[in-house]
Structure 1
Amino acid sequence: MKKVWIDAGHGGKDSGAVGNGLKEKDIALDVSLGVKKRLEDNYDGVQVLLTRSTDVFLELSERTKAADKAGADILVSVHCNAGGGAGGFETFRYINSQPASVALQNVLHKEIMVALKPFGVIDRGQKAKNLHMVRESKMPAVLTENLFIDVASDAAKLKRQEVIDALIEGHVQGIAKYLGLNKKEGKPVTKERDINIVSPWAEAVWKDMTDKKYFDGSRPGAPITREEMAIVLSRVINNLSHK
């Protein structure tokens, strides 16, 4: 049984980065809970342990001590970034990491970026830094920085469920590949739809609505938010008022 320690950054009185109506601690927890469920539901021989499963505060030392005591095989600390600029995704290992941490970072970073590709997220690269969570853990450890809370374009992505799902799936795929996990037998394999390709039965209508500027032509298979619906309705009303 492989033990995976998922550390949802911040929590409780420590909100982490805050901006654009989002809190880092909330996104970190959502992603962490999603990773646990998806890994345990779909793979054999894995147990996912969480630093926190609710909105509580823990010191950094409490987090790494708990992971070490549990005998976890790997640790992944989930965060969001801040600091402005163009935004994007990046990962960190310790500056003097063992090869196992480098290998974990390589596969985890790659799989998360593959999952984020449809959303145009900037790849800020794989980095090394003297961070507590990757320095004090006894097992291979990587910290992920999942987009920038204070960059409007990144924040808009983080408000979309399909982007959160992509972050979860990228973490799951990276962890599963690194640990060599096997899919559960009998688990139905469903092919995820490519939201960037329009279904054949909707091609004509989609083209018509795109030509008339009701939609921008992107992501025809994505769920529509209330904000996007408001924009479409506004365009319909404006067009009717001009006739």
Structure 2
Amino acid sequence: MFKLYLDPGHGGADSGATANGLQEKNITLDIALRIRDLLEKDYEDVNIRMSRTTDTTRSLSQRTNDANSWGADYFLSIHVNAFNGSAQGYEDYIHTSLTDSSLTAQYRNIMHDEITKVNNLSNRGKKKANFHVLRETAMSALLTENGFIDNTSDAEKLRSSSWRQAVAQGHVNGLAGAFNLTRKQTTTPNDLYRVIVDGTQEGAYRDEQNILNAVSRNLQTAERIVIEKV
């Protein structure tokens, strides 16, 4: 069982970067939820825990402590960049203490290649930093910066749901390659069901267990959950 700790950056009182009518916290959550849904739909033996699934405030220590106590195999933090309005593109980070031959760097190399294949952003390269979520995690960790919210061209992509879906798929492809995930066997197509939580689609699933998982995730917080056959 592969245990992924998925961390949508910022949230709640911390909006992250803001520009062009967009907030980083909303984009990171959207991409992370798409990553979760794709993994649950397409791969076997994957257990996903998220630092947040709604617009809630979580401190950096809460995130890393939660991942460490849960015993995650990998920590993936999703972010969006900002700088001066002209900077643009994709980059990702591992901790400064790690060598380019470390296992974490090897995982990152696979992730980087798969994400940059599909994100249609300029490639700013593989970088290192002393970020809290990279330093305080007991497992390998990666932080991805998916475009610049204050750059007009990148912001148009960030605004697109189809682009965010492609970026999520790139992350999933990277995880599958890095950790040798097993794709679920294809069977005769079943009916597709949408899970709608308080008027917003949470996901669309064919597998009964994925439908039940989606309901369970929202059962304590939602006022209304609808399962609708497509």
How would you bin the TM-score normalised by the shorter chain?
A: 0.7 to 0.9
Aligned equivalent of 2:94: 93
Aligned equivalent of 1:130: 130
Matched letter for residue 111 of structure 2: L
**1:147 to partner: Cα distance:** 0.3
> Which structure 2 residues correspond to residues 73-92 of structure 1 after superposition, within 5 A?
73-84=73-84, 85-92=86-93
SS of aligned partner of 1:172:
helix
Structure 1 runs of 4+ with >6 Å offset: none
SS of aligned partner of 1:93:
strand
For residues 36 and 164 of structure 1, what CA distance do their matches in structure 2 show?
A: 13
Residues 134-168 of structure 1, C-alpha deviations (whole Å, 9 max, x = no match): 11101010000010010011001111122101110
Cα-Cα RMSD: 1.3
Q: Which structure carries more helix by proportion?
A: 1
For residues 187 and 165 of structure 1, what CA distance do their matches in structure 2 show?
A: 24
Aligned equivalent of 2:179: 179
> Is 1:2–1:46's contact at 8 Å kept on the other side of the alignment?
yes
Specify the structure having the higher radius of gyration (Cα). 1
Aligned equivalent of 1:106: 109
Residues 48-68 of structure 1, C-alpha deviations (whole Å, 9 max, x = no match): 110000000111011000001
For residues 147 and 132 of structure 2, what CA distance do their matches in structure 1 show?
A: 20
**1:187 to partner: Cα distance:** 5.2
What TM-score results when the alignment is normalised by the length of structure 2? 0.78
Matched letter for residue 110 of structure 2: V
SS of aligned partner of 1:4:
strand
Count of residue pairs the alignment pairs up: 186
What TM-score results when the alignment is normalised by the length of structure 1? 0.74
Aligned equivalent of 1:146: 146
**1:101 to partner: Cα distance:** 1.1
> Which structure 2 residues correspond to residues 226-241 of structure 1 after superposition, within 5 A?
none
Matched letter for residue 148 of structure 1: F
**1:188 to partner: Cα distance:** 7.4
SS of aligned partner of 1:47:
strand
For residues 188 and 27 of structure 1, what CA distance do their matches in structure 2 show?
A: 34
SS of aligned partner of 2:107:
helix
Q: 1:128 to 1:44 in 2, by over 3 A?
A: same
> Is 1:104–1:141's contact at 8 Å kept on the other side of the alignment?
no
> Which structure 2 residues correspond to residues 15-34 of structure 1 after superposition, within 5 A?
15-34=15-34
**1:35 to partner: Cα distance:** 0.5
For residues 68 and 100 of structure 1, what CA distance do their matches in structure 2 show?
A: 18
Aligned equivalent of 1:197: none
Q: 1:50 to 1:153 in 2, by over 3 A?
A: same
SS of aligned partner of 2:93:
strand
Q: Any unmatched runs of 5+ in structure 2?
A: 190-230
For residues 107 and 188 of structure 2, what CA distance do their matches in structure 1 show?
A: 28
> Is 1:44–1:183's contact at 8 Å kept on the other side of the alignment?
yes
Residues 145-199 of structure 1, C-alpha deviations (whole Å, 9 max, x = no match): 010010011001111122101110011000111110011012579xxxxxxxxxx
For residues 76 and 43 of structure 2, what CA distance do their matches in structure 1 show?
A: 18
